[in-house]
Amino acid sequence: MTRRLLLAAATLALPVVATAPAAAQDGERSLPTLESLGLGGWSNASGSVQLGFSGRADVELYVPGEDPTYLITETATFVAPRIRFFTDLFVGESWFATAELRLDRGPSEVGDGLDFRLEQAFLRWTPLQALALQAGRFASPFGSYPSRHHTDGDWFIRPPLIYEYRTVVLEDQIPPDADAWVNWKDDAELRPRGAPPAWGAPYQWGGMAFGVLRDLGWRVAYVNSAPSSGPDAWDRLDFERGNLVAALGYRFAPWVRAEVSYSTGPFLEREENIVGDIPEAHGLDWYVQDIVGGEILFQLQHTQVRAEAFHDTWTYIEEDAIDISWSVEARQELYQDWFVAGRIGEVRFSDIETTAGAEPWDYNVRRIQAAAGYRFARNAEIRTEYLTNATDGPIDPDDDLISVQLWWAF
């Protein structure tokens, strides 16, 4: 009951914001930015060298249930602040460099204290519109969510289920056989260590080539870890566990675009980090994640619809283990800068053969998200979201989540 009251209070707070701030009533409807304060950057006399500064501040309130919500491990109400500072450098028409400094509670918003780090930094050379080369640390090139999270293209506070649900594939432990592995899905101590099909929004080290030719877009990248890898793997400036990523997209019309993406490579941790024995029959490179994703986006006036699906194959035991996941989300912009959005998603798991017969290697799981927000200034917004999960397992955890977010781009 308390959580329902908090959700109602968060939702009711939005009309207060809608009627209160003067910024929403004037012509500009903009909160201060570094540019408006005269701190937005510098350029030389000819404009061939330009340096830009910008940032974004977020404050998020989370009200979890009695059980952890996958990547969020806390069960008590908490606040997660986040500040990002961007520096962009343009040299001529072909060279671009950027760096992002971030202060927050960590990639899952649940770390102890605040973490200050270099989140991304890369150099890009664009000799042709159809070809650009990039190297450094950047958002994962697999799928679209990593590049659009915490932007205007991200309509929710929490990610789709595909990018958050912890399976019973462990990056630091290998099951001895299928019989032992199917029992892992009932082990409450192993679940928090499980790998999602894709781990939120990874910022990995690597190199990428990409380009646009009329309505066709493409990219090929080599990054230092798998899409399912956790933050510790993203930080390593080595490619011992590197993965190949490729994507191809096409804009069929101004209002519809589709893309397919693929990633393949080892997903286990390095040998010194593996818990227990490593089977003699296979080296670590035998344990591969092959994942194919597809996405389609419709956008017409004030309505947007996005659908995404993954086919994910793990070489983890002698028989390939597969999960198939999908999500569909829609956003409708309303009068005076309001919006509402909804998302539904599911992850389903294949059967594997055991001595007792065939059974799924994990429990199927579903998620529903509902969100609403108000853009009370050109560069500031408040939104709220309710998230509920359901599983086919014998015990359905109380892992619903209420969240509220206030962001300001400066």
3-state SS track over 157-200: CCCCHHHCCCCCCECCECCCCHHHHHHHCCCCCCHHHECCCCCC
pLDDT band per the 50, 70, 90 thresholds, residue 22: very low
**How does pLDDT run across 287-338, given as a tens digit for each residue?**
999 999 999 999 998 999 999 999 999 999 999 999 999 999 999 999 889 9
**Site of tokens 């560069």:** 379
Neighbours of 191 (CB within 10 A): 18
Do residues 401 and 65 lie in contact, with contact meaning Cβ atoms separated by under 8 Å? Answer: yes
Q: Residue 266 pLDDT more than 60?
A: yes
Write the CB contacts of 288 (distance below 8 Å, at least 6 apart in sequence): 264, 265, 266, 267, 314, 315
Lowest mean pLDDT among 6-20, 29-43, 377-391: 6-20
Task: Give the per-residue pLDDT at 108.
Answer: 80
pLDDT band per the 50, 70, 90 thresholds, residue 28: low
**Site of tokens 């992002």:** 100
Q: What is the mean pLDDT of residues 9-24?
A: 38
**What region, left, alpha or beta, does residue 47 occupy, with left being phi > 0 and alpha being psi -120 to 50 degrees?**
left
d(CA 247, CA 397): 36
d(CA 348, CA 367): 12
**Higher-confidence position of 27 and 376:** 376
**How does pLDDT run across 86-139, given as a tens digit for each residue?**
999 999 999 999 999 999 998 887 777 899 999 999 999 999 989 999 999 999
Which amino acid would we find at residue 225?
S
d(CA 247, CA 260): 6
Mean confidence (pLDDT) of the chain? 91
> Whole-structure pTM over 0.85, yes or no?
yes
SS3 for 242?
coil
Q: What is the mean pLDDT of residues 160-175?
A: 95
d(CA 208, CA 402): 37
Of the candidates 88, 155, 58, the one whose C-alpha atom is nearest the C-alpha of residue 409 is: 58
Write the CB contacts of 304 (distance below 8 Å, at least 6 apart in sequence): 155, 297, 298, 330, 331
Which amino acid would we find at residue 17?
V
* Helix residue spans in 192-290 (DSSP H): 231-234
Distance, first Cα to last Cα, the chain? 37
DSSP secondary structure string for all residues of 48-81: SEEEEEEEEEEEEEEEE-SS-BTTB---S-EEEE
What tokens does 22 get?
A: 């003067």
d(CA 69, CA 4): 17
Of the candidates 111, 137, 266, the one whose C-alpha atom is nearest the C-alpha of residue 195 is: 266
Task: Give the per-residue pLDDT at 282.
Answer: 87
